Amino acid sequence: MTIKQQIPNFITLLNALSGSIAVILAANNQLVSAALFVFLGIFFDFFDGLAARKLGVQSELGVQLDSLADMITSGLVPGIIMFKLLAITAESPEYVDMTNQWSSDSMHWYGFSIPTIAFIGLLIPLASAYRLAKFNIDENQQDSFIGLPTPANALLILSLPLMMEFQNNDLINSIILNKWFLIGLTLISSYLLNSHIKLFALKFKDWSFKNNAMRYTFLLLSIVLLIVFHFAAIPIIIALYILTSLVSYNS
């Protein structure tokens, strides 16, 4: 392979590296730092495909490598974070009344005791792996997606510790630290990953507004929501993404 052909693969490997660092951070209870590296990995994930298309060097190797990197960054990391959040609710029920003191340093493991309920969070990497495997053999997902893309699902899960850390709203924190909410969100996200819902892809073949009106409108609304609601906007944006796609493909 030429250097030109390897450029997109190198960007994909930066995604895998970012995800690997995020795994280490999440395993050590540094959930906010882990989220930042996932964001960095998703940034690389967006640009590796763009680079491959612009350079005209798309390959089967790149497709497989991209999914392997996504499994780490957008599959394993959100699963670990959900595992950690569920463990908090199981090990420290009284902590729900102290949500205003939440920080990434507040999570501690005692010995090797692991609450059984926390393992429910690992449904996310399992569902992500299945979704990525289906994507690799599905030729109908070139210009759109069937089911929620793993990066979008990762952003949804990662928004939880970010909201707790930076917005510190008692109502939001009490909802997030409710085990039934976390279990429900895990089941819903796992379903959405492998659902038959058709969703538009944020892939720009050109930069014209005419051919990308829906994408530009969605991105603009997302920016506005982030400015107004900060990290709490992420779940709203994911819901908007799904609703916009449903309206667009069924109108």
Q: In tens digits, what is the pLDDT along the chain, a chain of 251 residues?
A: 678 778 889 999 999 999 999 999 999 999 999 999 999 999 999 888 788 878 887 888 888 999 999 999 999 999 999 999 999 988 654 334 334 444 433 444 445 567 889 999 999 999 999 999 998 888 777 678 999 999 999 999 999 999 999 998 899 999 999 999 999 999 999 999 999 999 998 876 666 777 788 888 999 999 999 999 999 999 999 999 999 999 887 66
Q: Looking at this protein, which amino acid is placed at residue 114?
A: I
Write down the pTM of the prediction: 0.86
Task: List CB contacts of 205: < 8 A, sequence separation 6 or more.
Answer: 53, 211
Residue 38 lies in a domain: yes
Q: How many domains does the chain have?
A: 1
Residue 236 lies in a domain: no
Residue 239 lies in a domain: no
Distance CA 189, CA 198 (A): 15
Q: In this structure, are residues 129 and 74 in contact, taking their beta carbons and an 8 Å threshold?
A: no
The SS3 of residue 199 is strand
Residue 54 lies in a domain: yes
Residue 118 lies in a domain: yes
Give the tokens for residue 245.
Answer: 């796609």
The DSSP symbol for 144 reads E
Q: Distances from the Cα of 251 to the Cαs of 45, 147, 212, 226, 246, in angstroms? A: 30, 19, 17, 28, 8
Distance CA 104, CA 121 (A): 18
CATH of the domain at 61: 1.20.120.1760
Q: In this structure, are residues 164 and 99 in contact, taking their beta carbons and an 8 Å threshold?
A: yes
Question: At 147, which helix (H) or strand (E)?
Answer: none
Residue 240 lies in a domain: no
Residue 233 lies in a domain: no
The domain in which residue 13 lies consists of: 3-94+110-200
Residue 214 lies in a domain: no
